[in-house]
Structure 1
Amino acid sequence: MYGLKKPFLVGHQEFAALYGVEAQMVGQWLAPGRRVLDPATAIVVSGVRYWPLGFACRFGKTTSRPKLLNVRYKERLIKEQGEGWEADLGDELPPIVGQHEIIELFHLSSQGTLATRIAQGSFPHEDWLLSGSRLWLLDTVIEAVPELRASARSVPWEVDATVEAALRAGTYDGPGSVVLTRGRHARKGV
């Protein structure tokens, strides 16, 4: 299904904009006391939740107080994300990584090493820029390994096969695999 195309995704900001609310509202929908939005509907990449666009668009019809979808914003998201497809469930998605997973995949000594590569344009262009964060298909990163090695001065860009396998299987539990709760819910140990 996702052979050559990537799925359309949304982060907190895009999810909120689909319904004309502030990004903080998505956090309130996720709050344990409200549970309007089940956290299990999201994937977690680099400690942040992201949702398939199909699910996000269907969400407004599933709540006790239906929410009106901004269809024009949905169309804009699709146009911005380029050629792709509309997934509905997280388990339909190919492996997706952010900076935390990439650092672990290559055992980079610091985030600075990766950030420098990205800033210099010598790392593959992100597949998504959502809610201010860059995300890549795991395959985009793996396919770039020969080029990364060829242009490297001191980093070997060796892929940890165990980390890659866990990312592909959906069993990765390293850095970035869980959402770090902030605010009053963090104090309650949620």
Structure 2
Amino acid sequence: MVGRGKPYLVGTQEFAALYGVKEQMPRQWVHRGSLAPETAVVVSGQMYWPLGFAVEFGKTGRGKTLDEEVLVRLEREQGPGWMPAAREELPPILGQQEIVELFHLPSQPTLVAAIESGRFAAPDWRLGGSGGLWLLDTVLGAVAELQEKARTLPWEPDPEVVTALREGRYAGPGAVVLPRGRAANK
């Protein structure tokens, strides 16, 4: 990944926009089995796909037409980067739930306060209404500055969580997609 920038990603909103469908359609594709959930990475309970995979999705006989203008806009919005085609190509990506676990913060609002005050590293992505997504290396690269600015929190990353994230075996908070809608009420 060095020198290539960050990988291009899409959440459900961006995936839907690529094909001119309603935002809930990618979730329905997963539910119906036409979009395998293992093609996505789960970050803070939400699915995100490599943009290259999302682009190819419409070419597999599913009758979907890619909106090239949306593709260009997504690439431009995400800045310099590269287009991975598979989840396995992605580096470790964190959302707020994973960061809370990484630093064993007392609560998510503690992290949100650090983000909103500018004490925390800027997100690498802002996709689909997420509170931001970060590369693990972005977060780890900001530790010294976080510790320097800290008043009460140690901002010490848990090495076991770092290893689990790097090895793709993280199973803590945010690692699974939570049920939504009627499924969540059952």
TM range (shorter): over 0.9
Equivalence for 1:135: 133
Give TM-score, length-normalised by structure 2.
0.96
Equivalence for 1:82: 79
**Which of 151, 154, 158 is equivalent to 1:153?**
151
Please list every run of 5 or more consecutive structure 1 residues that lacks an aligned counterpart in the other structure: none
Q: Deviations over 1:106-131 (max 9, x none)?
A: 00001111000111111111000000
1:186 deviation in Å? Answer: 5.0
Give TM-score, length-normalised by structure 1.
0.94
Distance in 1 between residues matched to 2:73 and 2:100, nearest whole Å: 31
Q: State the secondary structure of the residue aligned to 2:112.
A: helix
Distance in 2 between residues matched to 1:187 and 1:109, nearest whole Å: 27
1:183 deviation in Å? Answer: 2.9
Equivalence for 1:114: 111
1:187 deviation in Å? Answer: 6.6
Counterpart amino acid of residue 75 in structure 1? V
1:22 deviation in Å? Answer: 0.8
Please list every run of 5 or more consecutive structure 2 residues that lacks an aligned counterpart in the other structure: none
Are residues 1:54 and 2:42 paired? no
Distance in 2 between residues matched to 1:157 and 1:178, nearest whole Å: 25
Q: State the secondary structure of the residue aligned to 2:133.
A: strand
Equivalence for 2:27: 27
Q: Deviations over 1:46-75 (max 9, x none)?
A: 110000000000001114x32100011100
Distance in 2 between residues matched to 1:130 and 1:67, nearest whole Å: 22
Counterpart amino acid of residue 2 in structure 2? G
Counterpart amino acid of residue 105 in structure 1? L
How high is the sequence identity, in percent, across the aligned residues? 59
Residues matched between the structures, number: 184
